[in-house]
Amino acid sequence: MQKRQLGNSGLEVSAIGLGCMGMSMSYGPPADKQQMITLIREAVDRGITFFDTAEAYGPFTNENLLGEAIAPIRDQVVIATKFGFDIDPNTGRRGGDTNSRPEHIKQVADQSLKRLGTDSIDLFYQHRVDPNVPIEEVAGAVKELIQDGKVKHFGLSEAGAQTIRRAHFIQPVTALQSEYSIWWRNPEVDIIPTLEELGIGFVPFSPLGRGYLTGKMDPNTTFDSSDFRASLPRFTHEAMKANQTVVDLLGVIGERRNATPAQIALAWLLSRKPWIVPIPGTTKLHRLDENIGAIQVELNADDLDEIESVSSKIMVIGDRYPENLERMTGL
């Protein structure tokens, strides 16, 4: 497995990580716990060292799952988790508000450490920018956690360029996690240049377009009521039909490279910058192997030029979130 460094931080991880959210929520009913523990350990056996979770996933159950899975192999992996929402610690009910007050951040860190069964969090992200708490206070709280040895690295998620700069001034930011894929390229405007300037790594979530870029969906695909894609504008029948041209492009390049559309989508991301580490999620071992296979796919200049030329003419249909969720991003 190839390794990459997240910016100038010195934090080295596998070139592709594993997003664990879907094991516990959002994409239908939670998967079988023992099967997911097995999957996580199989990922480690295959060289994946970077695992992404959050207190909000479940809530709480995803951190518990990951903690149990990596207990025998904690020294072999890098754990990223997140703070930033109001979640009742007794019921697990998540309020609709962000909460990055310094005292709350420290409480979340202690609770996450217990659930993960570890004495330090490798990478602690602010899950969403809190409009009610200055980012300087957020960075200062994480800085104290780093000084206390409870956290090793500070991260942000879905933050804008100025927020990244302000946070980085107080406590160096190791990585930004935001959505980025061949059908959501907005970070290229000012986020990626800012990260490059400051020496910050980039961890794209949903690098496969929440499954759409795998080519395994069509306009007739339906989603379970517990699958949040059912509420996303990009997953209406009309949008999926209109956006098929993106998958077709990945398929054309894939045929040339003897690779699947998913592998081309991931290989394209890996080609963008050496400090980009995508974290596709899956609950299936064969999909895990498929995603890992993307590391061996080398796109040449002609491939990249064709992707750029064709994709620049494609207008992706449908917002990525409903309006109420889009407002929660810091972009």
Conformation bin of residue 92: beta by default, left when phi > 0, alpha when psi is -120 to 50:
left
Of the candidates 27, 57, 180, 212, the residue annotated as catalytic is 57
Report whether 201 contacts 195 (CB < 8 A).
yes
Structure tokens belonging to residue 318: 């449908």
Rounded Cα distance, 278 and 16, in Å: 5
- Exposed e or buried b per residue across 227-245, where buried means at least 16 C-beta atoms within 10 angstroms of its C-beta: bbbeebebbeeebbebbbe
Count the neighbouring beta carbons within 10 Å of the beta carbon of residue 223.
16
In the residue annotation, 57 being an active-site residue is answered as: yes
Rounded Cα distance, 301 and 143, in Å: 42
Sheet holding 121-126, edge to edge: 18-19, 50-52, 78-83, 121-126, 151-157, 173-179, 201-205
The residue length of the chain stands at: 331
Question: Which amino acid is located at 62 in the chain?
Answer: N
Q: Which residues are catalytic?
A: 57
